[in-house]
Amino acid sequence: MLRLRCKARSGSFALPGLTAHSRLRELQAVIAALTGVPAQAQRLLLGFPPRDVDLSDGEQRLGELGIHSGDTLIVEEDATKPKTEPAIVTKRTASNSFREALPVLARKVVPADNSCLFTSIYYVVEGGVYDPGCAPEMRNLIAQIVASDPESYSEAVLGKTNQEYCEWIRREDTWGGAIEVSILSKFYQCEICVVDTQTVRIDRFGEDAGYAKRVLLIYDGIHYDPLERKIPNSDVPPQTIFSASDDIVLAQAMELADEARRKRQFTDVNRFTLRCMVCQKGLTGQVEAREHAKETGHTNFGEV
């Protein structure tokens, strides 16, 4: 995400939601909404001494124009150019209206009930449909896919025999992870991006498959939530399915994860304390929990 500002007669403004891959026309639209200077009448200056930005190709990317994070653009209105956009009553009103109508990427919180991954994926791939009862069907779907291809889903891949895995994943007290995300990415024919709040890293499942669609989840070490783009204080339905070429949404997801990391909204899976809900034994981290599950067959854990 680029940190950009512009200066115009009406004041100085931050330019949100732009990356080096954003188009010039997107930048001009943001400037027009904030300053009231229509795109057709804009003259943009950059650098020191200020130089004219070439506005001849609205499809050119900001990075190609030499616009970098930290830059401030000077906005002038060229009175010789025709104004085809409607006049804005006041610059302040335009600025406030634009900010209020700007979509933001946000976390949709789902229950921490061992099935948060399935609830989250169902929510995003179905375009914002929340169905807490979807997990058994999705678990069964994964089991059927795995059972139908024992060669691809062998014990070496699953960590247990094909049959054991199918029985395991159908249980409501088991957690999903990378294997299940990969399977559902193929089934739904979309890239599933999981942004980690501890490492501020995005794992993109199906990245090389050429899918046209992209959905996003946020992960704090033990819990998944879906991400959606919505307009604050609006009845407009949220957007959960994005173009696979939408790099802005990835940058926004990284910002969201970084903010959560700074607030320490993550769980260190190597240090967090658990209790086996079957025998009440205390455990530390996912490694001990995994070993305990192998030794006893107990898989129902609660965080202390």
Active site includes 131? no
Which one from 21, 203, 247, 298 is the annotated catalytic residue?
Answer: 298
What is the identity of the amino acid at 285?
A: G
Q: What distance in Å separates the CA atoms of residue 159 and residue 156, rounded to the nearest whole number?
A: 6
The residue from 116, 134, 193, 276 that is catalytic is 116
- What's 121's DSSP letter? H
Q: Which residues, at least 6 apart from 270, have a Cβ–Cβ distance to it below 8 Å?
A: 285, 286, 287
The helix (H) or strand (E) run that includes residue 145 is helix 135-147
How far is 210 from 59, CA to CA, in rounded Å? 23
DSSP 11-79: EEEEE-S--TTSBHHHHHHHHHHHH---GGGEEEEETTTTEE---S-TTSBTGGGT--TT-EEEEEE-T
By the 8 A CB rule, do 110 and 119 touch? yes
Largest alpha-carbon pair distance within the chain?
80
| Contact of 45 with 74, CB cutoff 8 Å | yes
| CA proximity to 146, closest of 180, 115, 117 | 180
Task: Kindly name the residue from 166, 223, 225, 292 that is annotated as catalytic.
Answer: 223
298 is catalytic: yes
- Residue 120 CB neighbour total at 10 angstroms: 29
Q: Is 223 a catalytic residue?
A: yes
Whether 116 is a known active-site residue: answer yes
Catalytic residue among 78, 113, 149, 268: 113
Q: Return the active site residues.
A: 113, 116, 223, 298
